[in-house]
Amino acid sequence: MRLLFGTAGTPISSKGNDSISGIKRVHELGLGCMELEFVRGVKMGERTALAVGKAAKELDIRLSVHAPYYINLNADGETLAKSKERILNSARIGNICGAKSVVIHAGFFQKETRQVVYEKIKKALIEIREKLNSEGVDILLRIETMGRKSQFGSLDDVLEITEIEGVKPCIDFSHLHAVTGKNNSREEFVSILTRVEERLGREGLDNMHIHVSGIEYSEKGEKNHLVFEESDFKYEELVQAFVDFDIKGMVICESPNLEEDALLLKSEYEFLR
Ligand SMILES: [Zn+2]
């Protein structure tokens, strides 16, 4: 196990827009992983998924999946049913690709208390987990830390929800920064990783899934992603914290220049290590 760096979707400099071209380009660039972006819907079929998995295996590129944005597990009726179906399909196709994680934006707070929302999302995730287990789909559900207070996904939320077997966090450090403007120093990054270790143990640090990018934000939280150079995000200090804790797993770069900032993270990491 190592710490791998990669892109959110196919690198910009890929020959084609498809996932296999992306995997080849990630390999050429010397990066180690890529997240398949199913964010606008799971459009990949099983046959393509098999070919994607084969290409990734041959080139030793680790894959993960990002489930569609249009998901709210704090819902009822059709919205909830469709949200669950989108997660299930992301997991099934991701599993065929050989991905070990599917990243999920779990839902939104409406007027209920945090506890009510938590229980509702927990119930939905347990049902999804049971269905996947019954189908033999061996993939972790990763609940992402989110960039707005209106969304389920504080650090507390994503750590507590790991009480469900097969549910782990996706720590988006840029989102954690954007919510309050804090969480942007080595000390604060260290305290986030300390929280992960307290909850999940060394095993948690050895199997991290991370999102990071430059980010623009207001008092309401996340506005949009930026390249590191145009943002205030202290990525060097974040990478220092990765080294401090010797974490392992995947770091997915979501900056608009994808591979450029991913390579920046990787070279900083290799420099500090
Ligand atoms: Zn996300």
Cα of 77 from ligand 1 centre, angstroms:
24
CB within 5 A of ion ligand 1: which residues? Answer: 144
H or E stretch including 179? helix 173-180
pLDDT at 9: 98
Cα of 55 from ligand 1 centre, angstroms:
24
Cα of 178 from ligand 1 centre, angstroms:
14
Q: Work out the number of other CB atoms within 10 angstroms of the CB of residue 62.
A: 20
Per-residue HEC secondary structure of 33-45 comes to EEEEECCCCCCCC
β-pair partners for 57 = none
- For 143-158, letters b (16+ CB in 10 Å) and e give bbbbbbeebbbbbebb
Cα of 30 from ligand 1 centre, angstroms:
24
Cα of 105 from ligand 1 centre, angstroms:
6
Cα of 106 from ligand 1 centre, angstroms:
10
Cα of 237 from ligand 1 centre, angstroms:
22
pLDDT at 1: 81
Cα of 150 from ligand 1 centre, angstroms:
15
227 exposure class (CB count in 10 Å sphere: 0-12, 13-18, 19+): middle
Sort strands 221-226 and 214-218 into parallel, antiparallel or unpaired. Answer: antiparallel
Cα of 116 from ligand 1 centre, angstroms:
23
Cα of 2 from ligand 1 centre, angstroms:
22
Cα of 147 from ligand 1 centre, angstroms:
9
pTM greater than 0.85 (yes/no): yes
Tens of pLDDT along the chain (273 residues) come to: 899 999 999 999 999 999 999 999 999 999 999 999 999 999 999 999 999 999 999 999 999 999 999 999 999 999 999 999 999 999 999 999 999 999 999 999 988 999 999 999 999 999 999 999 999 999 999 999 999 999 999 999 999 999 999 999 999 999 999 999 999 999 999 999 999 999 999 999 999 999 999 999 999 999 999 999 999 999 999 999 999 999 999 999 999 999 999 999 999 999 999
Distance in angstroms (rounded) separating the CA atoms of residues 197 and 205: 6
Q: At what angle do helices 259-272 and 235-245 cross, to 10 degrees?
A: 50
